[in-house]
Amino acid sequence: MHPHGEKILLSEQEIKTRVAQLGRVISEDYKGKELLVIGILKGAIIFLTDLVRSINNPIYFDFMSVSSYGDSASTSGEVRILKDLDKSIEDRHVLIVEDIIDTGLTLDYLTHVLSSRGPASLKICTLLDKPSRRVTPVYVHYRGFSISNDFVVGYGLDYNERYRNLPYIMALRPKIYGGGS
């Protein structure tokens, strides 16, 4: 494990198995339909690229970038769109792919914004969920894993842009994000 890790929460194999399961369920649910997958940059990118390879339907991608955290490990509660979608989602079957839901503020905001643009359907798929931290209720249609309240990195998730390329998900040592060395 990386020396900044407290413990490995999800191994490469566990993630792989679960992502393939999610892909099978999504393929079945959207059978005969074309899917527009919206990845939330940058954290969801690795999850998204694995997930779509387990989905059989015709798929289009688009990406959005939102900021709610800056460089800190705690939420400011404020959501801003840094990069909007390239194309209209009107009458499309939209699946938002997110890395982790924490307070729910980001997805609450995004679902309001996107549902006002007239999609045929709008669902949420998240790799990780921290239900105990929720401030705003969010209906999650597809969830990889529920986890406890650790700050996690790896498999796309970062702390100050680091650790995204780890193939597993680990809890970061509190002294790393608490300002210690």
> Which positions lie near ligand 5GP, rule CB under 6 A?
43, 68-69, 75, 98-106, 151-153, 157-159
CA distance 36 to 60: 5
Which residue, 32 or 179, has its beta carbon nearer to ligand 5GP?
179
Element holding 177 (H helix, E strand): helix 174-177
CA distance 23 to 83: 26
Least distance from C-beta 8 to ligand 5GP, angstroms? 14
Which residue, 61 or 69, has its beta carbon nearer to ligand 5GP?
69
Which residue, 30 or 104, has its beta carbon nearer to ligand 5GP?
104
Can you tell me which residue has the tokens 């007239």? 118
Least distance from C-beta 62 to ligand 5GP, angstroms? 17
Q: What amino acid positions are annotated as catalytic residues?
A: 102
DSSP assignments along 8-64, one per residue: EEE-HHHHHHHHHHHHHHHHHHTTT--EEEEEEETTTHHHHHHHHTT--S-EEEEEE
Which residue, 30 or 127, has its beta carbon nearer to ligand 5GP?
127
Backbone angles phi, psi at 59, to 5 degrees: -130, 140
Least distance from C-beta 58 to ligand 5GP, angstroms? 27
Least distance from C-beta 49 to ligand 5GP, angstroms? 17
Nearest to 98 by CA among 145, 148, 168: 145
CA distance 7 to 31: 39
